Chain A
Amino acid sequence: MNLSSNSSENQAILKVEDVNVFYSSNSPAVAGVNLEIFKNQITAFIGPSGCGKSTILRCFNRLNDLIEGARVKGSITFNGHNLYDDKIDPVAVRRHIGMVFQRPNPFPKSIYENIAFGPRINGFKGSKNDMADLVEKSLRSAAIWDEVKDKLKESGLALSGGQQQRLCIARAIAVEPQVILMDEPCSALDPISTLRIEELMQELKQKFTLVIVTHNMQQASRSADMTAFFNTELSDSGKRMGKLVEIDRTSVIFSSPKQVATEEYISGRFG
C-alpha cells in the first residue's frame, strides 16, 4: 500500500453520485452532489451555515438514518459498495467509517472504557491484555497517551476540552475504521488545542482517510489536500437548499478557484 498522500489520488474510497438529502419535506436540504473522497487524504468541506456540508458528511456513516423522516436519494459508494443498499446494515457502516463530533462527547465513563467500548461491542476477539494493548495503541495514535496513561480509570469528562476531543478521536480509531469523519472538530476548542488536533490529522492520514467539515478557512488551507466548497441556493420552489459549488485541490481552491462564488467566499466578501 502506498502511504504517501499525493500519489494515491486515483483511489477514490468514497464516491458520491447525484445525492439529494431530504429532511421530512419534499424539497431537498442539499441537492445534486457529486464528489469523490480519495484514500489517505484529508478532504475539507467548507461553506456558509446551512449549505449542507454536515448533512453530506453524516450521509457517509448513515447517521442521518437516526433522524426521523430523513431520506437520501442517489448513491454513495464505499470501496465500490453502495452504502444505501438495502442489504447494508448502517451499524456495520459506522465501524468502518468513524466519526468525531463538533462538541467533544466522551462517554460518562472511565478513559479506558471510552476506548474499550467500541471494540467490545463489535466483538473484539482478543484477550484482556490484547484489549489493554489496543487501548494504549489507540490513545497513542491520538497523541493523548502520555497525558492519560496514569489515570485510565478516571472519568473521560475530567479532561480538558482539547484532551476530550483527542480521546474521542482515539475512541474512533479503536474500532479500526478506514475513514474518519470530523464535524467541525475544533470549533469548541482554543487555538492551541486546535493546532494539536491539526497536527494529529496529518499523522492520522497516513493510516486513515479523513473528511472534515470546518468553518475555519485557515484550517482547511493548512490541513486539507482537497477542499469542497458548498453554498446555499434558492430552489425553484423558493426554498433554501445546499449545493456543491466546486471541489478541487486545496491549493487551487484557495488560489485560483473556477467559480466566482468560491472566490468571493474564500476572500471573505460574503458568508
Chain B
Amino acid sequence: MSNGIDILENIDGQSSESKFEPKLESRQFWGKVFSAFCIFATGLGLIVLAFLIYKVFSDGSSRLNGDLLQLYPSRRPEESGYKAAILGSIAMLTYVLVLVVPLGVCSAIYLEEYAKKNWLSDLIELNIYNLAGIPSIIYGLLGLGLFVRGLYSGRAVLVTGILTITLLILPPVIVISREAIRAVPQSVRQASYGVGATKWQTIRHHVLPSALPGILTAVIISTSRGIGETAPIVVLGAGTVLFDPKASPINFGALFSGNIGDVFTDTLWSNDNFFSVLPYQIYEWVGDPKAEFQTLASAGIIVLLALVLGMNLVAIFLRSRAK
C-alpha cells in the first residue's frame, strides 16, 4: 500500500466508472503526519526535562554534598543547607498522605458507589471539578484565614501547612479516584452481589482492588504537586527556620516518664512549631543576588526532584504489585 496505487481497483477494469475515489496516498500520508507529530510531542517533553535536569545539575552539583542535608540556613551561603526544609517537606508529605488517602478515596467511593444521582450530587460533582481548577494561591489565602488565623491565632505552624496542602490536593485526588472506581466493570459488581456479598464486601474485595492502580496514580500525582507548591506556603506566612520541625503527634518522652500533662508539649501541634519546606527555601535563595545562593537553590531543586521522583518510584512499585 505504500506506493499508494490501488492494484485491486485497476484489475477491476472499471476504475473510470467507480463510485469511489480512494485517494490512498493522501490518506496514508495524513496518518504518517499524525504519528510524526505524536513522536515530536513526546520527544519535546523528554528534551525539555533532560535539559532541565542537565542545567540544574551543572549549576548545583558543586553544593551537592552532606553539608546540604545537615546545615540550617545562614547569611553565609557556604554555611547554609536544607536540613530544616527537607525534614519539613518529609513531615508534610507524610501527614498529607495520612489525611488525603482516607478522605479522598472515601469521598470518591461515596460519590461513585453510595450517593443517589440527583441535583445535589450533580452540584457536588460540579463543585469538586471547579475546586480542582482553583489556583493554589487561593488555597493559601483560605489556609491563612481558616488555619493560621482561626486555629493558631496568626502563627504559620506546620499543622496549618499540612491542612492547607491537604485541602489543595483533595479535589484532584477525588476526581481521579472516581474515574478509577467508575472504570471497574459493572459485571464484577454484579457477580459479587450474585453470590450474596454485601455492598461493603463488594467494594472491599472487588471494586477497591481493581481500582487501586488508578487510585495510587491519583494520590501520587496530586501529592507530588502539593509537595512542590510554593505559593500557598508563602501566603500562609511560613519563613526560614533554623531548627527541625516537630513531627511527632505526641511527646513519647513525657508519656513514658509519666508526665501525662506534657504529652502534647513540643509536638506537631505546638504553636511554636514553625516550619519551612523545600520549595519555599529554594524560592528564598533563588531570589538572592549572591551567585552562591543561586547555586544552593539549584542543589535544593535536585533534592526536591529526588524526593518527588522517589515517591513516583514507590508508586510504580506499588502499582505493579497491585496488578
> In the complex, which residue of chain A has the Cβ closest to the Cβ of B201?
A121
User: Is the pair A94, B194 in contact by a Cβ cutoff of 8 Å?
Assistant: yes
Q: How many Å from the CB of A99 to the closest CB on chain B?
A: 4
Contact of A105 among B117, B191, B197, B201 (CB under 8 A): B191
> In the complex, which residue of chain B has the Cβ closest to the Cβ of A115?
B195
Residues of A within 8 A of B198 (CB): 91, 121
B281 close to A (CB within 8 Å)? no
User: Is the pair A66, B195 in contact by a Cβ cutoff of 8 Å?
Assistant: no
> In the complex, which residue of chain A has the Cβ closest to the Cβ of B196?
A95
> In the complex, which residue of chain A has the Cβ closest to the Cβ of B323?
A108
A106 to B194, CA, bound (A): 12
Q: How many Å from the CB of A212 to the closest CB on chain B?
A: 15
B55 close to A (CB within 8 Å)? no
A91 to B185, CA, bound (A): 20
Residues of A within 8 A of B201 (CB): 121
A66 to B186, CA, bound (A): 11
User: Is the pair A63, B188 in contact by a Cβ cutoff of 8 Å?
Assistant: no
User: Is the pair A175, B210 in contact by a Cβ cutoff of 8 Å?
Assistant: no
A259 close to B (CB within 8 Å)? no
A94 to B185, CA, bound (A): 20
**8 Å CB interface, A149-182 against B:** 168, 171-172, 174-175
Given A68-B116, A117-B205, is A107 in contact with B188 using a C-beta cutoff of 8 Å?
yes
Contact of B117 among A68, A94, A107 (CB under 8 A): A68
Given A68-B116, A108-B210, is A172 in contact with B187 using a C-beta cutoff of 8 Å?
no
Given A68-B117, A107-B188, A121-B201, is A94 in contact with B193 using a C-beta cutoff of 8 Å?
yes
B94 close to A (CB within 8 Å)? no
Given A94-B195, A118-B195, is A101 in contact with B190 using a C-beta cutoff of 8 Å?
yes
User: Is the pair A172, B195 in contact by a Cβ cutoff of 8 Å?
Assistant: yes
Residue interface mask A104-124, B partner, CB < 8 A = 1: 011110000000011001100
Given A117-B205, A121-B205, is A91 in contact with B187 using a C-beta cutoff of 8 Å?
no
Q: How many Å from the CB of A111 to the closest CB on chain B?
A: 14
B240 close to A (CB within 8 Å)? no
Residue interface mask B194-228, A partner, CB < 8 A = 1: 11111001000110001000000000000000000
Contact of B191 among A68, A92, A121, A168 (CB under 8 A): A168
Q: Dominant SS at the B interface?
A: helix
B192 close to A (CB within 8 Å)? yes
User: Is the pair B117, A101 in contact by a Cβ cutoff of 8 Å?
Assistant: no
A117 to B210, CA, bound (A): 16
A101 to B192, CA, bound (A): 12
Q: How many Å from the CB of A122 to the closest CB on chain B?
A: 5
User: Is the pair A98, B191 in contact by a Cβ cutoff of 8 Å?
Assistant: no
User: Is the pair B190, A122 in contact by a Cβ cutoff of 8 Å?
Assistant: no
Contact of A118 among B187, B188, B190, B196 (CB under 8 A): B196
Q: How many Å from the CB of B173 to the closest CB on chain A?
A: 24
User: Is the pair B187, A121 in contact by a Cβ cutoff of 8 Å?
Assistant: no
A61 to B193, CA, bound (A): 10
A106 to B197, CA, bound (A): 15
**8 Å CB interface, A47-71 against B:** 61, 63, 66, 68
Given A105-B187, A105-B188, A117-B205, is A172 in contact with B194 using a C-beta cutoff of 8 Å?
yes
Residues of A within 8 A of B196 (CB): 91-92, 94-95, 118, 121-122, 175
Residues of B within 8 A of A91 (CB): 193, 196-198
A103 close to B (CB within 8 Å)? yes
A118 to B202, CA, bound (A): 11
User: Is the pair B190, A105 in contact by a Cβ cutoff of 8 Å?
Assistant: yes
Residues of A within 8 A of B206 (CB): 107
**8 Å CB interface, B131-146 against A:** none
Residues of A within 8 A of B189 (CB): 66
A108 to B205, CA, bound (A): 11
Residues of A within 8 A of B205 (CB): 117, 121
Given A68-B117, A108-B210, is A121 in contact with B195 using a C-beta cutoff of 8 Å?
yes
A92 to B210, CA, bound (A): 25
Contact of A95 among B116, B117, B195, B210 (CB under 8 A): B195
Contact of B197 among A68, A103, A121, A168 (CB under 8 A): A121
User: Is the pair B194, A98 in contact by a Cβ cutoff of 8 Å?
Assistant: yes
A118 to B192, CA, bound (A): 8
Residues of A within 8 A of B116 (CB): 68
Q: How many Å from the CB of B294 to the closest CB on chain A?
A: 52
Most buried by A among B116, B191, B195, B205: B195
> In the complex, which residue of chain A has the Cβ closest to the Cβ of B118?
A68
A121 to B196, CA, bound (A): 8
> In the complex, which residue of chain A has the Cβ closest to the Cβ of B189?
A66
The 6 A-B residue pairs whose C-beta atoms are closest, nearest first, are A118-B195, A95-B196, A105-B187, A99-B194, A94-B196, A105-B191
Residues of A within 8 A of B (CB): 61, 63, 66, 68, 91-92, 94-95, 98-99, 101, 103, 105-108, 117-118, 121-122, 168, 171-172, 174-175
Report 19 cross-chain contacts, Cβ distance below 8 Å, ordered by A residue.
Answer: A63-B190, A63-B194, A66-B190, A91-B196, A91-B197, A92-B196, A95-B196, A99-B194, A103-B187, A105-B187, A105-B188, A105-B191, A107-B188, A117-B192, A118-B197, A121-B197, A121-B201, A168-B191, A172-B194
Known contacts A91-B196, A108-B188, A121-B196; 16 further A-B pairs (Cβ under 8 A):
A63-B193, A66-B193, A91-B197, A94-B194, A94-B195, A98-B195, A101-B190, A101-B191, A105-B185, A105-B191, A107-B192, A107-B206, A118-B195, A118-B197, A168-B191, A172-B194
